Structure 1
Amino acid sequence: MRVLLTGWASFLHGEATAGDVLSLRAAGDALARAGIGHDVAWSPGFRPGARHLPDAPPSDYTHVVFACGPVHGPQVRSLHERYAACRRTAVGVSVPDPDDPAVTGFHRVLPRDDGGTADLSLAASVAKKPVLGVVLAPHQPEYGGAGRHDAVHTALTGWLAGLDCARVPLDTRLAHDDWERCATPDQFVSLLSTMDVVVTTRLHGLVLGLKAGVPVVAVDPVAGGGKVTAQGAALGWPVLAAEDAGDRALLDARLAWCRSAAVDPPVPSLAGFVEALVGER
């Protein structure tokens, strides 16, 4: 007996959601605990170096399992055609139309939309990963030719994409009529406080990250140093130069340092500002 695990994350024109992948993991773990050999077929768009459906000949398997997602459409029906000699089971799936050939092609269907079955993803093990808030500066024409924003952001986002972490794009700009943005600074600092680390090229990404008690990987996008470097000096917090953005070893080291760094930024005194105003009266 050998099982091929499939799902929407197996199709070239499918999609790999967190729920899909966790459901395949849960099914695979259950098979492994039972001592049943199995392979997982992945979409080449999601995992290019893994086993894909064309690499999984029907003669290698006795059973095919389709896990998670709605059972409908030509891609699911194609499994019945390719693996016609295998026993086919759908588990943890939604069944919008019980008479759809995509559904009736399975020998057995174990649905999740029967009102009494919990989703398969709940059975999968997960590892806690660091959460990185990413605050990138917009183009800043005031720095003229010294601005290296595009090159710095390309290097930073390329580095971030390769990290085993959750990445959360954040924007310091506020809006009262856009649900995707915070409406008040209090909301934004509260959001920052839920991050493990902030990665930023923006002055207020650095300042407000530290204000929220979160360590910050700060990179100045201006060659020779601009306001991010100056503010880092004022706060006693290290800031990487624009040319350092392409040094992944240095970025890795700074991120590792941030994971345990103490955060206690100085609070400026406004006494001089008030005295200056009073003195002008």
Structure 2
Amino acid sequence: MTVAGGRPRRVLLTGWFSFLHGEVTAGDALAAEAVQEALRGAGIAYDTAWSPVFRPGALHLDDADPARYTDLVFACGPVHSRPPPDGGPSPLLALHDRFAGCRRVAVGVSVPDPDDPAVTRFDDVLPRDTAGQDTGAPDLSLRARAPSGLPLIGVVLTGGQHEYGARRRHAEAGDALTAWLGGVGAARLPMDTRLDSRDWRLPATPDELHAVLARLDVVVTTRLHGMVLALRAGIPALAVDPVEGGAKVSAQAAALGWPAVLRCEQVEAAALDRLLAWCLSAAGRERAARHTVRPAGSELLDGLLRRLAQPYG
């Protein structure tokens, strides 16, 4: 597809997600995906510029040659010329200056001030909402493809347990797990088994924690109760014992006959990948479901009652 003069048409897709210190939201990313799909469907060549902080290996604005593009599209977010908190130049005005030779279109944006030069310097603005208007257009993120059904992983880590002294490897285990989790194709939910009636971010009761656990696909944890309460909810747990040589997490996994456990010395990506795949399998889910049945008896409680039944003295 060409424009006047026989020049091949090529669009540079930008947004707040393109700026070095710009915020990247899920809505921004989905809006960009919707625009990309529309451009592909229309047979229009395009590139997308991403923040080097968010996507180091992608095309960045500083590397995008304005002479290569006939059009610039700015998608999603508010259009304004306010400078950033560090006092530098307005990112949008700088974008206009650098790509002044391109036709510039804003789409799916909010317009808080129609007279702002960041707005008026666009050749065309297709807003989702504008100041003074009661309604607008549906957000572009609604046009993006449907979610792919990624697994949801609850992550329950501990940095305490100083009673284990020199055997503690909690920091190393946590660092290894979080580095691995960052590359796993899943949604991740930080959690805690600690209860707090004053902090809305934490469960106030065990039932509140159970309600979240029961909706997960798997729990990754270095806590004994992260593992036990996940299994109680019928959810597979990938447990790592953060104490060198093994301690209560390993002992509890053995008591429950739960196989998806590693000692901190065994933590490596291949082993974690293997156990996660098993936890997400039908076999892993079936094995976890066995623990939703309340045990018929308890060795510990039976022992307690026997002790209490003994006479004093």
Structure 1: which amino acid aligns with 2:114?
P
What fraction of aligned residue pairs are identical, expressed as a percent? 57
> Hey, what does 2:227 align to over in structure 1?
206
Deviation of the 1:75 alpha carbon: 0.5
Deviation of the 1:13 alpha carbon: 1.3
Deviation of the 1:182 alpha carbon: 0.8
Deviation of the 1:275 alpha carbon: 4.4
Q: In the aligned structure 1, how far is the partner of 2:77 from the partner of 2:33?
A: 14
> Hey, what does 1:190 align to over in structure 2?
211
Contact 2:159 2:171 in 1 (8 A): no
What SS class does the counterpart of residue 94 from structure 1 fall into?
Answer: strand
Equivalent residues in 2 for 1:58-69 (5 A)?
A: 58-69=66-77
- Asked whether 1:104 is paired with 2:84, we answer no
Pick from 144, 166, 170 the counterpart of residue 124 of structure 1: 144
- Asked whether 1:274 is paired with 2:305, we answer yes
Q: In the aligned structure 1, how far is the partner of 2:148 from the partner of 2:122?
A: 33
> Hey, what does 2:265 align to over in structure 1?
243
> Hey, what does 1:71 align to over in structure 2?
79
Structure 1: which amino acid aligns with 2:264?
A
> Hey, what does 1:34 align to over in structure 2?
42
What SS class does the counterpart of residue 32 from structure 2 fall into?
Answer: helix
Between Structure 1 and Structure 2, how many residues are aligned?
Answer: 280
Deviation of the 1:279 alpha carbon: 4.2
What SS class does the counterpart of residue 133 from structure 1 fall into?
Answer: strand
Q: In the aligned structure 1, how far is the partner of 2:117 from the partner of 2:308?
A: 79
- Asked whether 1:143 is paired with 2:143, we answer no
Name stretches of at least 5 consecutive residues in structure 2 with no aligned partner.
1-8, 82-89
Deviation of the 1:138 alpha carbon: 2.5
Q: In the aligned structure 1, how far is the partner of 2:136 from the partner of 2:50?
A: 29
- Asked whether 1:81 is paired with 2:97, we answer yes
Q: In the aligned structure 2, how far is the partner of 1:144 from the partner of 1:27?
A: 55
Q: In the aligned structure 1, how far is the partner of 2:185 from the partner of 2:311?
A: 56
Deviation of the 1:280 alpha carbon: 4.7
Deviation of the 1:193 alpha carbon: 1.1
Q: In the aligned structure 1, how far is the partner of 2:226 from the partner of 2:250?
A: 13
Q: In the aligned structure 2, how far is the partner of 1:159 from the partner of 1:102?
A: 41
TM-score (normalised: structure 1): 0.96
Q: In the aligned structure 1, how far is the partner of 2:57 from the partner of 2:159?
A: 35
> Hey, what does 2:86 align to over in structure 1?
none
Equivalent residues in 2 for 1:225-264 (5 A)?
A: 225-238=246-259, 239-245=261-267, 247-260=268-281, 261=284, 262=286, 263=288, 264=290
Deviation of the 1:278 alpha carbon: 3.7
Which of the two has higher C-alpha Rg? 2
After superposing the two structures, state which structure 1 stretch, 146-155 or 108-117, moved more.
108-117
Deviation of the 1:206 alpha carbon: 0.3
- Asked whether 1:24 is paired with 2:12, we answer no
Q: In the aligned structure 2, how far is the partner of 1:57 from the partner of 1:224?
A: 56
- Asked whether 1:6 is paired with 2:14, we answer yes
Deviation of the 1:244 alpha carbon: 1.4
Point out 4+ residue stretches in structure 1 off by more than 6 angstroms. none
Deviation of the 1:190 alpha carbon: 0.9
